[in-house]
Every structure is written in structure tokens, then in C-alpha cells.
Chain A
Amino acid sequence: MSSIDQMSVKVTAIEQVAPMIKAFTLQPLEGQLTPFSAGAHVVVEMGEGEQRYRNAYSLMSNPNDNRQYQIAVRLQEASRGGSIYMHEQVAVGDELKISPPANLFAPAWKANKHVLFAGGVGITPFLSYVPVMQQREAEFELHYMYRSQQTGAYSAELTEQLGDACRCYDADQGSRCDIAAVMADQPLGTHFYICGPESLIEAVRATADELGIPAGAIHWEEFAGAKPGQPFKVELSRSGVELAVAADTSLLEALEAADIDIQHLCRAGVCGQCVCDVTEGEIEHRDSYLSDAEKQSGKQMMPCVSRAAGERLVLDI
């Protein structure tokens, strides 16, 4: 069960675009898909029963194309299954369920200039930015960091298409992006966008802070999703239900497996949709939505990423 209407789509093509990345083309079983805005993502539901996963993926196709969506999935060996499932189990012709597109990473269109930093598969939201920025004649530059032996999808196409506006840095060739040099001396009204591993997001934010670039000009998207932790028990005070949350399952997933409907958009601790009231137990907050004061009060948590700090939690559900 999901609180927002899901759509059924069929996988019509799968392409190995880099050693670790597969791209999936999705078409609706009937009718048309909705157009989306640059930077939007969908939550893909795959598998069944015990082996059911929901992961958020950026849409990387042209936002104006309502015949198909494309997503790219990087194989995460240490992942809790979703990306492995997409890589190993999903075949052309299979059906998947997706949420309607939602956008937590739209460009700041009032910016005078856009500087995009992509790390590995983090290129995907920017692939939807590019056609719209070109159409709007917005000034932008793309800095794309990857390892050609793992994640360098689309670098050739982008270089060809964008020329100087695209700079590629292949770590496997010893090429590194000098983030400070890119960020220094940008004109007033420049906005910076980061999609990639946490280390890249941190590096760009720290550089901005160092240079005195306003925090409001820095935007990032991190779809790290839930990370495993200690197993714990959760009691739902209104229904009296008690559930066990395994080490590699998120609390949100455990609730969903018990058919408890929780709103969600990002499944990454960013959007605030999944907030739950907590009546007992220590929380290990891992989200970036609640304020420090809210985290300290211990009364609310984001079950998509956060967990119990102890052995047991009681939720007011």
C-alpha cells in the first residue's frame, strides 16, 4: 500500500551504461506518463513479499517526454537489496510500480548562472536539467566526476553535446576536480548544485563556507537512502502491534511490510513526509529534516532513515 497513487510501468529497455550502472526505460502500461520538472524523482517499487524494495531514483529523461521515463541504477554491493534486485532480477518486459514524480531538487530558476557538480551516478538529475536549461538559454556548467571503470556513463555524449560547458574528471585516469578553483570568482547570482556521494556534498559545502559563498546558493540531493544499523523492536501504541526491525531493514520498510501506510516522498530523510510521533525510547536520528531542537526533544522521528538508539521504540500510530 502506498499513500499516493502508484502507476504501473513496463521495462522496455535495459542498457549497461557503465560497468556498475544500468539504465532502465519505463513505459506506461496504459495512457501517458505525466511530464515532470527537472530534478524530479520517482520511487520504484520492485519485488514481492519478503523481497520487496522501494528506492527513489532521479528521472534522467527529457522532462517534456511523456512517453517514457528513464532511470539509472548503480549497483551498490553493500546495499540492502534494491539495486541488486534491479540489476539481477529485472528484465525487459517486467512490470514495476512507480510513484508519480516528485521534486526535491528543482533548479533555482532565478539564478544568473548554474554550476552543477555530479559524482558518479549523481549525474542522473542533471541529465534532466540539461535540456531544460538549454531550452531556457540558462548559463550553466557541469562538472562531472566519476571512475571510468565503474560509473562514467554519458561522459562522451555530454562532452559532445555541451562542449566547454561540461568538464569531465575521471579518477581512474588521475583527473580530479579542483572544487575551490571552480567555485571561486563565480559571478553574483550563481547557484551550485551537487548530486553524488556524501563526501562530494560535504566538500562543496565546506568550500562554499570557506570562500564566503552564501549557504542559500548551495543545493544538494543525496539519495543515500537508509543505512543498516542494529535490530530493534517497535511497538505501535494505538494498534498494540509489535514489529521487529531487522538490521538491514528501515523502520519505514518494516511498517510498510506490516501494511501500515506512511506517507513518503524521498525515503532519504529530506522531505519530512514520513514523520512519526514517538512516545518512548531513544532515537538515533539520521535525517536532515528535523531541526536540532526537534531531534533533541525526542518526540518525532523520520522512519525512512532513522532508527532506535536502544532496543525498543514506541510510536504513536
Chain B
Amino acid sequence: MQTEQVNGVASKPVYTPVELNPKSRFHLFIAEQDVPVELQSLYDRCQEDKAVAAYASASDAQLLESLVTFPLTGTLYLAGTEPFLWRVASHAREAGLCSDQVRLLAPISRERHLFCCHCHTITEGVTYSPYACSGCGAMLEVTDHFSRLHGAYFSFQANAEDSTDMPEKREVN
């Protein structure tokens, strides 16, 4: 479950601990790579009709395939990196799941996908700012504006007035 941050930047997702949905008749657990302990323990505690799957580098088609038989009364639990969580959540929304049917565990790494507002390339594995765009090479200021659709953070040329004078490198989390 995500709630918006009340202070600061509104769009950075906040991940709260995930519980099983006691009302659901079916539970699907999807992990990006190895099933992390939190997801495994949810799965183990689940008494209902359930399925678990780990998709190491799953294609979009595989992900969609896993949702075709998903029932109206089901809940989907996701574990993995932040871009993975939101990529699957996006497919889930397309398939017709409501946002309260999708529960996201806290991302397993703090690496971000970065969306460059100049060339629209998404750069992966970003942990600090400014960061060089893998598309146009611009040094990008990493913001906390997050797109749930793209699973990426918005970024723009750092210190655009004088791009030879870069702000000090800082970690993002």
C-alpha cells in the first residue's frame, strides 16, 4: 500500500508494511528475481487459493499472461526493484485491477530509473545526483518526482545556467 507523503515532494511513493488482504479469495505473489523473505512469509501465512511466481527478467508478455485469469476478488503482491513494481502495477491497471488490489513491498534496492526530460531516455541504476544521461549525456539533477506510469523519476539538466559548474554529488535514496 502506498500513501502520499504529506510533506516535501508529493509523488515519491511511500511503502508501508504489506499485510495479506483477508477479504480476498485469491492471492498472487510475484517477485522480480528471488522471492524475498517478506514475500515468502506472506505466502506461507496465506490460507486461501494462492500462487507464487518469480520472474527473473520477465517480458511484458509473460507478465500479462500471469494476469489473464486473475479474478475480480484477488489481490496481487509484488516484490522487486522500484521500476519492476511499477511496471507490473501498470500492467495490472491495464488488465483492470483496482489500485487497492495491488500491494507493493518496499523496493529491494534504492536504485532509480531516471527519466531525462530533454531526450526522454530512461537511465537505469541511478544512486546519486547529478547523473549522466545514458541518452544525451547531460548531467541530470535527480528529483523526487516519480511517474507511476513509467516507474521513473523526473530529471533535468543540473545547473542549466552554467552547466560547467556542477552541484556537488549527493546520494539519493
Is B a genuine binding partner of A?
A: yes
Give A contacts to B, CB under 8 Å.
Answer: 110-112, 186-190, 209, 211-217
User: What distance in Å separates the Cβ of A229 from its nearest Cβ neighbour in chain B?
Assistant: 34
Compute how far the CA of A186 lies from the CA of B72 in the bound complex, rounded to whole angstroms.
7
Taking a contact as CB atoms under 8 Å apart, the answer to whether B23 and A212 are in contact is yes
A111, A209, A211, A214: the one within 8 Å of B101 (CB): A214
Chain B residues touching A, majority SS: loop
A111, A186, A188, A213: the one within 8 Å of B70 (CB): A188
B96 cross-chain contacts in A, Cβ below 8 A:
110-112, 187-190
A110, A187, A215: the one within 8 Å of B72 (CB): A187
The 7 closest A-B pairs by CB, nearest first: A189-B96, A216-B98, A212-B73, A214-B98, A212-B23, A216-B100, A112-B96
Q: Given A187-B72, A188-B72, A190-B72, do A212 and B24 touch, yes or no (CB 8 Å)?
A: yes
Q: Given A188-B70, A188-B71, A190-B72, do A216 and B23 touch, yes or no (CB 8 Å)?
A: no
Q: Which residues of chain B in 33-73 are interfacial with respect to chain A, using CB atoms and an 8 Å cutoff?
A: 67, 70-73
Compute how far the CA of A190 lies from the CA of B74 in the bound complex, rounded to whole angstroms.
13
Compute how far the CA of A212 lies from the CA of B96 in the bound complex, rounded to whole angstroms.
15
A186 cross-chain contacts in B, Cβ below 8 A:
72
A187 cross-chain contacts in B, Cβ below 8 A:
72, 96
A111, closest chain B residue (CB): B96
Give B contacts to A, CB under 8 Å.
Answer: 21, 23-25, 67, 70-74, 93, 95-101
Chain A residues touching B, majority SS: loop
B99, closest chain A residue (CB): A216
Compute how far the CA of A190 lies from the CA of B100 in the bound complex, rounded to whole angstroms.
14
Taking a contact as CB atoms under 8 Å apart, the answer to whether A215 and B25 are in contact is no
Q: Given A209-B23, A212-B24, A213-B72, do A189 and B100 touch, yes or no (CB 8 Å)?
A: no
Taking a contact as CB atoms under 8 Å apart, the answer to whether B72 and A189 are in contact is yes
Compute how far the CA of A188 lies from the CA of B74 in the bound complex, rounded to whole angstroms.
9
User: What distance in Å separates the Cβ of A178 from its nearest Cβ neighbour in chain B?
Assistant: 17
Taking a contact as CB atoms under 8 Å apart, the answer to whether A188 and B95 are in contact is yes
Compute how far the CA of A188 lies from the CA of B67 in the bound complex, rounded to whole angstroms.
10
Taking a contact as CB atoms under 8 Å apart, the answer to whether A214 and B95 are in contact is no
A218, closest chain B residue (CB): B98
A192, closest chain B residue (CB): B72
User: What distance in Å separates the Cβ of A293 from its nearest Cβ neighbour in chain B?
Assistant: 12
Compute how far the CA of A216 lies from the CA of B96 in the bound complex, rounded to whole angstroms.
11
Taking a contact as CB atoms under 8 Å apart, the answer to whether B72 and A216 are in contact is no
Compute how far the CA of A216 lies from the CA of B67 in the bound complex, rounded to whole angstroms.
18
User: What distance in Å separates the Cβ of B173 from its nearest Cβ neighbour in chain A?
Assistant: 29
A212, closest chain B residue (CB): B73
